[in-house]
Amino acid sequence: MKGNIVVGQSGGPTAVINSSVAGVYVAAKKLGVNKVYGMIHGIEGFLEDKLCLLDDYLGSAADVELLKRTPSAFLGSCRYKLPKALGNEATYEKIFQIMEKHDIGGFFYCGGNDSMDTIKMLSDYAAANGKSQLFIGVPKTVDNDLPITDHCPGYGSAAKYIATSMKELIRDNESFGAKKPTVTIVEIMGRHAGWLTAAAALSKGEDCSGPDAIYLPEVTFDLDAFLDKVKNLAATKSSVVIAVSEGISLADGRFVCELGSASDYVDAFGHKQLSGCAVILAGKIAEATGLKTRAIEFSTLQRSATHIASLTDINEAFQVGHDAVVAANEGKTGMMITLDRNGDDPYQCGTSAYDIHAIANVERPLPKEWITEDGCGINDGYIRYARPLIMGELQPLFVNGVPCHLVR
């Protein structure tokens, strides 16, 4: 790897995506890289030559620590989808010109499926056109749906937030119900994969029964069966709390959220914006049972709550950023750093670099064997997998009573 490097962040931010930037920076400095640039708002900003110099912000080890404790995209994110190279050569040439202008030899991109597609297309273009720059993907997604890697940085912290908040909401719901049960429906992110919703099961322990049911996008949603389930639960329990994925859909293919006044907004990657299925289901329950119901959505809180991030996740996010630079330094390109688990208990995990072509645009669903037979629960297979990912805490630096962040 010659010259300087650049790092960018793309897609929905996470609680630990900045820890990956910290890892890129620290590794680069260890390897003697002169300048570490940051893309302002990912490839979208890069195309307009909007860069910053990370050296301006990370002057001390304390700054690096603060960056690791800062949620969301420090550099700014984007949802820009790079067009196919064929017919769009000018866009690609522009990217390489900007890299040459700043003597950038290594390009590191933190993101999920769509961002890995960017790495694939840029590295393919470089290979096809004799460019020497190196492109490495740094995995990041709360959705945990990248293939090959055991899990994705960002997931553990979102899961820890979900498990913690779910437990606190169950406690809150249990406060009432002396005479009549109260029902709370909690909506969790996850367009096609139930990874985040499954994390609600991590709230279960000696002091908490966990959610009473978990509805995942992997299982076809049956409204009548759902209402029967709630009625049966309410007949014996004073507190009913149910986790639902935003992406649950009916047998006819419609999303449950479409049963209400869902928005038709479609984002830049063509994904339909979902929200509101908890509100719809809470309404259906109230109608069918007359019970007091409440709908709660974790919304973007679940991806930005660095104040309760998982230390394992922060460290692994740092590691994949770090090892991306090490991989490029060894001449690798067109690869993503993967997390490779070596054991659950005690948990051990290493990294390697894997061909981006096997990763980009492939979505990994939650394994069916972790879903209980009745389709509305999660079994111990998942718990064994996910528990290590939420372990440990990194106390925020509190200033004036709120966590302090590093900002540009």
Site for a copy of itself (CB under 8 A): which residue of 4, 20, 77, 329? 77
Which member of 117, 143, 145, 323 is catalytic? 143
Residues between 207 and 226 that touch a copy of itself (CB under 8 A): 207-208
Task: Tell me the C-alpha distance between 161 and 390, whole Å.
Answer: 9
Task: Tell me the C-alpha distance between 229 and 285, whole Å.
Answer: 11
Task: Tell me the C-alpha distance between 303 and 31, whole Å.
Answer: 32
Residues between 182 and 201 that touch a copy of itself (CB under 8 A): 184
- Inter-CA distances, 105 with 34, 171, 251, Å: 11, 53, 50
Residues between 310 and 349 that touch a copy of itself (CB under 8 A): 310
Nearer to a copy of itself, 129 or 299 (CB): 299
Nearer to a copy of itself, 206 or 373 (CB): 206
Indicate whether 237 belongs to the interface with a copy of itself (CB under 8 A). Answer: no
Q: Specify whether the CB–CB gap between 238 and 291 falls below 8 A.
A: no
Indicate whether 393 belongs to the interface with a copy of itself (CB under 8 A). Answer: yes
Task: Tell me the C-alpha distance between 279 and 297, whole Å.
Answer: 9
Could you tell me how far CA 330 lies from the centroid of its own chain? 28
Site for a copy of itself (CB under 8 A): which residue of 188, 244, 305, 317? 305
Cβ atoms within 10 Å, residue 65:
15
Residues between 249 and 288 that touch a copy of itself (CB under 8 A): 261, 263, 265, 276, 279, 283, 286
Site for a copy of itself (CB under 8 A): which residue of 160, 229, 322, 364? 160
> Does 143 qualify as catalytic in the annotation?
yes
If 0-12 CB within 10 Å is exposed, 13-18 middle and 19+ buried, where does residue 392 land? Answer: middle
CB of residue 404 to a copy of itself, shortest distance in Å: 6
Q: Residues 166-205, buried b or exposed e (16+ Cβ, 10 A)?
A: bbebbeebeeebeeebbbbbbbbbbbbbbbbbbbbbbbbe
Site for a copy of itself (CB under 8 A): which residue of 8, 23, 38, 45? 45
Specify the DSSP element, H or E, that contains 7: strand 4-9
Indicate whether 397 belongs to the interface with a copy of itself (CB under 8 A). Answer: no
Indicate whether 72 belongs to the interface with a copy of itself (CB under 8 A). Answer: yes
Site string (163-182) toward a copy of itself, x via CB under 8 A:
xxx-xxx-xxxxxx-xx---
CB of residue 300 to a copy of itself, shortest distance in Å: 5
Which of the residues are catalytic? Answer: 143
